[in-house]
Amino acid sequence: MQPPRRFDIEECRAFFTLFARFEYAMKAAGIRQARKSGAVEADWNQLADDVASDLMAMSEKNIKEARAYLLQQPPNRQDLEGDKLVWSAAPASRGSDAKDLFVYICRVRSNLFHGGKFQGRYLADPEQSSQLIGSSTAILIAVLQLRPQLSEAFNG
Residue 122: per-residue pLDDT: 43
Residue 116: per-residue pLDDT: 60
Residue 70: per-residue pLDDT: 97
Going from the C-alpha of 19 to that of each of 72, 85, 112, 123, the distances in angstroms are 22, 25, 12, 22
Q: pLDDT tens digit string along 28-73?
A: 999 999 998 999 999 999 999 999 999 999 999 999 999 999 999 9
In a domain, 139, yes or no: yes
Domain coverage including residue 55? 9-155
Query: Does pTM top 0.75 for this prediction?
Result: yes
Find out whether 112 and 15 touch, Cβ atoms under 8 Å.
Answer: yes
In a domain, 4, yes or no: no
DSSP 75: P
In a domain, 2, yes or no: no
Number of domains in the chain: 1
In a domain, 131, yes or no: yes
In a domain, 59, yes or no: yes
- 10-residue averages of pLDDT along the chain (156 residues): 66 94 97 93 97 97 98 90 85 90 95 65 69 96 97 96
